[in-house]
Structure 1
Amino acid sequence: MMAPMTITLAVANQKGGVAKTTSVASIGAALAELGQRVLLVDLDPQACLTFSLGVDPEDLDLSVHQVLTKGLDPTEVVLETEDGVDLLPATIDLARAEADLLTRTGREHVLKASLADLVGADGYDWILLDCPPSLGVLTVAALTAADGVLVPLQCETLSHRGVGQLLDTVHDVRRFTNKGLEVWGVLPTLYDGRTTHARTVLDTISQTYDLAVIEPPIPKTIKFAEAPAAGRSILATSRTSKGAQAYREVAANLIARAEAGRPKSRRLRTRPS
């Protein structure tokens, strides 16, 4: 199974605690298991993705910060990981990038320009962008660089207002910097299938905002908490767990979506009527 050219997905939700970083690491590892060439980009100054893949941010001299603010070639920063994916790591320096980029002309396009040489027939099959938990400059740059956006959503504490804000931002990005951006759908995380509330909330968000749901839902399990401490994804630390298998199925479904081609853009319902 091969995705056509390079698919760049921004994984975004300004609300924290929705398993966003876990999803990036796990989907990336699952895609790699399926023979895909994968680059993960850590755009969060907290560097959780970097740490969870076994890299100590404090040991790094170079990171995505220098790529975005100094024009450093990303190939000089990319690291190989034990999970079979490459990583463009973050450090706390990235916290200064928002301020550094605010006064720069074309700041929305800086990430897309930086990744240009990594995209295409000879580059990666997939680039996954782990967005910070905000709707600032870095998230807008990620959405501008992406073909699609994937929204992890915790089914227990879903906030309609938060989803609406993200879709408002997606709408603006479509208008001004990336008219081809597609919302690939919501990925239900921390899902407890024993409760009717979880499915009810998921159905509500799907209907309210006319969003596709990426299946299967990712189950709630302690195994996810154990993985970052080991510096590996759950696919390595608990290979046969329900969580690992769910991410494998999600990865396969994403590849199928990519092979089927992107549907025509449809108008987003950014706010409930």
Structure 2
Amino acid sequence: MKELFTIGDLSKLFQVKIATLRYYDEIGLLKPEYIDEKTNYRYYSTQQFERLSTIKYLRALGLPISELLEFFDYRDTDKLIEMLKRQQTEIANKKRELELVERKISRRLTQIYDATTNPLDTIMEVKLPKLRVAHLTQDYRLGEDIEYPIAELRKNFNIEENIFLGKIGISVAFKDIQSHKFDRYNSIFMVLEEGDKIPKAAVIFPSREYLRVRFRGTHVNAALFYEKLLNYIKKHNYNIIDDSIEITLIDYGITNNVDKYVTEILLPFSR
């Protein structure tokens, strides 16, 4: 049987990159049995096999290099149990995070599908569940940069920016809707989803009935559809009971094609 093995031999036997084995040597995690002073070649004996197997096993469990160094310095059963329990907790936390991400992806896919397949320019009477929102009372007029108030919203509610940012909405005040003034908004809000950190100052939009219309375009194109909603309300003898909810379901955050933008207006009403 071969007594010493080159770093290449060890790399092939254990399917570990040569660069990784050199790194393990440099940090003292896995020292070779012998180094040829003339060639600087590293040679390993079977005594290193068990240690490398343990390293591979613990790395496969996700333990960081720093903990492996600590384990081999104080190797015993209690130390291994402590490390594995700590790693088990960390993995459980990551699992919950990934499950949350999966649910967010599923919701986003559902929202995009819903926005692209439901009829446009059609008024519907819908009842929606309550919405938790981070809400900021701030005037905004069409044509102004909406990114600044969004940044203020995040700052005020300590909302971390991430790829699953909740839907952003704006509202036309009840009195302005009655006066047919649709070029200014009185608030901006972010819809908070399951798993989001709910700020103490979050506002709840109650579950209630809305008139809903979706149209191709953005807030700039909304005035015509507010008028359609008001005509519908007048025709059916309904009453507006609160500010509107206006959300761009598909915008520049999803597509570069402005012809695919979809905006939704929700107008709370009573019969």
TM-score, length-scaled by structure 1 = 0.21
Q: Which has the higher strand share?
A: 2
TM-score (ref. length: structure 2): 0.21
Structure of higher RCO (CA pairs closer than 8 Å, 6+ residues apart): 1
Which structure has the larger Rg over C-alpha atoms?
A: 2
